[in-house]
Amino acid sequence: MTLRIMAIDIQKIRGQFPTLVDASRRPYVFLDTAASSLTPRPVIEAMGRFYTDFRANVHRGMYTDSLRATEAYEAARSKVAGFIGAEAEEIVFTRGATESLNVAARGLAEGLGPGDEVVITIMEHHANLIPWQQLADRSGFTLRFLPLGEDFRLDMEAARQTIGPRTKVVAFMAVSNVLGTVNPTEELIALAKAQGAATVIDVAQAAGHLPLDVTSWDCDFLALSGHKMYGPTGIGILYGKRPRLEAMEPQTFGGDMILEVTKERSTWNRIPWKFEAGTPHIAGAIGLAAAIGFVEEIGIEEVVRAEERLAAHALERLQSVPGLRLYGPAGGVRGGALSFAVDDIHPHDMADLLSKQGICVRGGHHCAMPLMRELGIVGTTRASLGIYNTEQDIEDLIQAIHEAKRIFG
């Protein structure tokens, strides 16, 4: 079945998502894709087929179901590779972006010590901050932060000053989960490469929303989660450039990641399997491949266009609410995370009042506490967009915010 119609048919897309078509849920307006997207039927069905048709472990059995499971699992790896412009061997399945970022950070920190610097941004999710903090404490390297400049975007002048000869790693998010800011990925990679520094890109909020191409970016590592791009929870990937992965020691030990084991010592399997100890999330990988298929059916360019249009509309509508402060770029290229505060209503109260009206948003610090401190706030209310959202969803949100204001008024 093809979902590609002249302009995309959002109603048809919505029909693919069980929770959106379940009338018993109404009112139900889902605006929390940045936390975790909804899952379309093709993904649920692909995972179901694994459990009903060929449920077996991978890389172990010689019987048909095990061979089918292995084939589907490795085909999923190839699908992910194609989606981001990589080779299949460069795709390591993980539990999600958090695990991927931890693995990349530990691997890169191996060679770092006092005098070396790792540069991240002030808007990072804790998943791309705490691993570096911990490793800096142990290894003695310095962690430096790129600040915000105008309109909640990175201060690139400061980036040019900060990324220098001591910089060994530049690790940053492509799109902010709080501000919706789209960071200048190519420019940051160029600054890092000019200093011979490694690059780690957190695309948790970009995957499924923007085109990704590790070959043209020429980055060293990239991390994403399946559940934010219409895939299942508990699965993600770490992309690592082949020589990087080959040079990196495995961090988890056990079955499947070895070549030869004696009582005294062990040798490692080839990449990517040396990083996948134990039985993997087979259904998750299959589901992730189906999610990529779902996005590709629509067409990533169409996704970008639809989300940009809706984000522009949402910004305009939000800014029409008296007393609403927006935390994020007010226009231009941006992602679908729309953070705001209204009067002095606490973000948790706002999220709760919206929830009572059937609107699903997130309130709080969004795992970005240093950013909140920088902004001088405890948190925001965040509405975030996915491919299934409509102008009606935005209208319902605006009405619900007015109602919350009235209750607090």
Interface residues toward ligand C6P, by CB under 6 A? 34-35, 96-98, 125, 127, 173, 177, 202, 204-205, 225, 227, 362, 366-367
Report the nearest approach of ligand C6P to the CB of residue 201 (Å): 10
CB-wise, 177 or 185, nearer to ligand C6P? 177
Structure tokens at 295: 């996005």
Instruction: Say how far apart CA 337 and CA 115 lie, in whole Å.
Output: 37
User: Residue 95 or 402: which CB sits closer to ligand C6P?
Assistant: 95
* Closest among 363, 13, 312 to 180, alpha carbons compared: 312
Q: Which residues contact 152 (CB under 8 A, 6 or more apart)?
A: 179, 181, 327, 328, 329
CB of 277 within 8 A of CB of 92?
no
CA dist 177 and 336 (Å) reads 9
In angstroms, the CA 30 to CA 361 distance is: 7
Looking at beta carbons only, is 54 or 83 nearer to ligand C6P? 83
Nearer to ligand C6P, 274 or 362 (CB): 362
Minimal distance in Å, beta carbon 395 to ligand C6P?
23
Kindly tell me the sign of the dihedral angle through the C-alpha atoms of 292, 295, 301, 303. negative
344 Cβ partners below 8 Å, 6+ apart?
Answer: none
Q: Are 235 and 290 in contact (CB under 8 A)?
A: no
Judged by CB, which is closer to ligand C6P: 96, or 131?
96
What is the closest distance, in whole angstroms, from the C-beta atom of residue 102 to ligand C6P in the complex? 9
Query: Could you tell me the smallest distance in angstroms from the CB atom of residue 196 to ligand C6P?
Result: 26
Instruction: Give every CB contact of residue 340 below 8 A, 6+ residues apart in sequence.
Output: 318, 324, 325, 326, 327, 380, 381, 382, 383
Nearer to ligand C6P, 77 or 227 (CB): 227
The phi, psi pair for 197, rounded to 5°, reads: -90, 150
Least Cβ distance, residue 123 to ligand C6P (angstroms): 9
Place of tokens 């996948």: 276
Ordered alpha helix ranges (H), 59-166: 64-84, 97-109, 130-139, 156-162
Q: Least separation, in Å, of the C-beta of 128 and ligand C6P?
A: 6
The least CB distance from residue 267 to ligand C6P, in Å, is 31
CA distances from 142 to 110, 165, 374 (A): 14, 13, 20
Q: Are 230 and 296 in contact (CB under 8 A)?
A: no
Q: How far apart are CA 300 and CA 209, in angstroms?
A: 7
Dihedral sign, Cα of residue 248, residue 110, residue 281, residue 16 = negative
Out of 10, 367, 369, 398, the active site residue is 367
For residue 155, the Cα-to-chain-centroid distance in whole angstroms is 22
- Decide whether 127 or 314 has the Cβ nearer to ligand C6P: 127
Residue 374 CB, nearest approach to ligand C6P (Å)? 16
360 in active site: no
Identify which of residues 362 and 405 has a Cβ nearer to ligand C6P in the complex: 362
Task: Indicate which residues carry an active-site annotation.
Answer: 367
